Amino acid sequence: MRIVESSVSTPEQSRTLKSMFEARKQVFVDLLKWDVPVVDGRFELDQFDDEDAIYVIVAGLEGQHLGSARLLGTTRPHILGELYPTLCAGPVPTGPDTFEITRFCLGLGQGAARRRETRNRLVSALVSTALEHGIRRYTGVAEMSWLQQILAFGWDCRPLGPPCAIGGSLLGALEIAITEQTPRLLEANGIWVSDDLRNGSFAEAA
Amino acid sequence: MFDRVDGFVREVGGLETEEALAGALARVTLDLGYRYFALTHHVDVGRTRAAIRIHNYPREWARWFDEQKLGQTDPVHRASHMTSIGFPWSCLDRLIALSGRDREILEAAREQGIGDGFTVPAHVPGEAHGSVSFAAGPGEGPDSATFPLMQLVGAFSFEAARRIRRLREPPPLLPRLTERQRECVTWAARGKSDWEISRILGLSHETVIQHLKEARERYGVPKRTLLTVHALFDGTIAFFDVLRR
């Protein structure tokens, strides 16, 4: 288990992780009614939350979770490969430079403006993380109701196959190419938050 | 058929003009078994400079549509505000209550040679609602097997149109409110008077008046009703915050 968003100091990390699993339960189980396991009635954790999962977390000044995403390597079991390979028209994209974005989560109760800031910081952190760690491609399974917003971030995104109605929602598989140009693409859409701003006191700026 | 969509997505990613996008859309529309497409923001296009509209509907129909100022009231457009994924027009009456006027509009479209169709809503927070529609010719029914593909064609073409428009003119900066101004606007949206807001937030009456005045100035609007609509529209305040008890 690894946290890569560096604004969280080490002693705060377990608190941040805990509040992330709580926020995931509030968002995915309580709000979106996903049928996923809940631990202790408070935390959403599944079989992919293991020691190799990587978490990109945007946290407030006290280390509390604001937004997060889970990255799974595609050379290990991951959601597209294990659960939804049929969403890909061709083979499921895998490789050491390909990671899957899962559990993209914006914590509740932030208000619309703060929520948008958290979203921008999280998307920017995902891109920075990729650039720092040699990740050239993200994949992911998305509800098509979010597709327009995912595309509007401005990054280079492609469908991997036709969407399918599964469990009451229309799901589709996407891939996002990450290059040195990606921050510029996000910037043109007002999404990009530079590393300096993300790691400073940005969360508290009014 | 997915290969055709994949090719379309790769093609539109590099286009730089609305004309080129219109050509690409016309070709993919035909290849997937439809005749017409319309990619549009749901506004009165004649009055809004920044709005996108690209289509290949019959010219007579487009003219009538504009004369009737149907951009915001068209039943297909209204229905697309009720859902975030695509829908066939045969399901319209499950999404909205169709008035007599709506049925006239649908009938007029049929007379102009526009058959059944499929519409993909395109909502980007802080921007006008939009949609991308695909229509078959008269008496032709769209093949429901194409619906998931049209979902992709719609979303990716709408994003291409946004990108192309941005090449032409950069998006305006969103007005930003201070946290206090935002709180005052949220309470104003809930119907509270300046005095009531001052009690709720523990501020002086004059301070609340000042906060809302400055918020109106930042949006360049004269009235508090317009202020709350604008702040809701661009996501500065959320329906969730206004409606929760």
Q: CATH no. for residue A120?
A: 3.40.630.30
pLDDT category at A1 given cuts 50, 70, 90 is very low
pLDDT higher than threshold 70 for residue A10: no
Domain extents in chain B:
2-168, 179-243
Q: Does the residue A164 lie in any domain?
A: yes
What is the value of pTM for the model shown?
A: 0.83
User: What pLDDT does residue A204 have?
Assistant: 30
Return d(Cα B99, Cα B46) in angstroms, integer.
25
Compute the residue count for chain B. 245
Architecture field, domain B179-243: Orthogonal Bundle (1.10)
Separation of alpha carbons B146 and B28, rounded Å: 12
**Distance in angstroms (rounded) separating the CA atoms of residues A18 and B130:** 39
Per the DSSP assignment, residues forming a β-bridge with B121 are B131
Average pLDDT, chain A: 88
Q: Mapping DSSP to helix (H, G, I), strand (E, B) and coil, where does residue A139 land?
A: strand
- Cα–Cα distance, B116 to B106 (Å, whole number): 10
Burial A114-140 (b: 16+ CB within 10 A, else e): bbbbbbbbbbbbbbbbbeeeebebbbb
- Helices then strands (H, E): number in chain A? 6, 10
Of B10, B148, B163, the CB nearest to A164: B148
Q: State whether B241 and A111 contact (CB < 8 Å).
A: yes
Measured N-to-C along each axis, helices B205-219 and B194-201 cross at an angle, to the nearest 10 degrees, of 110
Instruction: Give yes or no for residue B180 having a pLDDT over 70.
Output: yes
**Interface residue of B11, B41, B85, B144 to substitute, partner A, most A CBs within 10 Å:** B85
Would you say residue A116 lies in a domain? Answer: yes
Which of chain A's residues have a Cβ under 8 Å away from the Cβ of B152? 147, 159, 162-163, 172
A115: which chain B residues are within 8 Å (Cβ-Cβ)?
Answer: 238
pLDDT of residue B93: 87
Helix pair angle (B194-201, B179-189), 10° resolution: 130
**What's the pLDDT at B69?**
76
Inter-chain CB pairs, A–B, below 8 Å: 83
Domain that holds residue A65: 2-73+83-191
Burial A60-84 (b: 16+ CB within 10 A, else e): beebbbbbbbbbbbbeeebbbbeeb
CA distance A176 to A159: 9
Residue A45 in domain: yes
Give the best-scoring range by mean pLDDT among A97-106, B66-75, B131-140: A97-106
Q: How confident is the model at residue A175 (pLDDT cuts 50, 70, 90)?
A: very high
Q: Which residues of A touch B155 (CB under 8 A)?
A: 144, 147-148, 151
Cα distance between residue B85 and residue B87, in whole Å: 7
% of chain B at pLDDT higher than 90: 45
Say what the pLDDT of residue A201 is.
36
Please answer yes or no on whether A111 and B6 come within 8 Å at the CB atom. no
Q: What is the pLDDT of residue A22?
A: 95
Phi, psi of B43, rounded to the nearest 5 degrees: -140, 170
Whether A199 has a pLDDT exceeding 60, the answer reads no
A4 burial (CB, 10 Å; 0-12 / 13-18 / 19+) is middle
Partner-chain residue, chosen from B121, B159, B178, that has the shortest CB–CB distance to A151? B159
User: Binning pLDDT at 50, 70 and 90, where does residue B22 land?
Assistant: very high
Count of structural domains within chain A? 1
Interface touch B155/A148, C-beta < 8 Å: yes
Closest among A106, A108, A113, A114 to A56, alpha carbons compared:
A106
**ipTM computed for the complex:** 0.88
CA A50, distance to chain mean position in Å, is: 16
Give me the pLDDT at residue A203, please. Answer: 35
**DSSP 3-state assignment of B133?**
strand
Nearest-neighbour CA in chain A from B179: distance (Å): 6
Whether A115 is in a domain gets the answer yes
- pLDDT reading at A200 higher than 80: no
Of A38-52, A58-72, B98-112, give the lowest mean pLDDT range: B98-112
User: Residue A197: inside a domain, yes or no?
Assistant: no
User: Which H or E run includes A138?
Assistant: strand A137-143
Residue A192 has pLDDT above 90, yes or no: yes
Residue A67, C-beta contacts closer than 8 angstroms, at least 6 positions apart: A57, A58, A105, A106, A107, A118, A119, A121, A122
Neighbour count for residue B93 (Cβ, 10 Å):
13
CB atoms B6 and A148 under 8 Å:
no
Which residues does B221 contact at the CB level (< 8 Å), separation at least 6? Answer: B227, B230
CATH domain B2-168 topology? Beta-Lactamase (3.30.450)
**Chain A residues inside the 8 Å CB shell of B182:** 111, 113
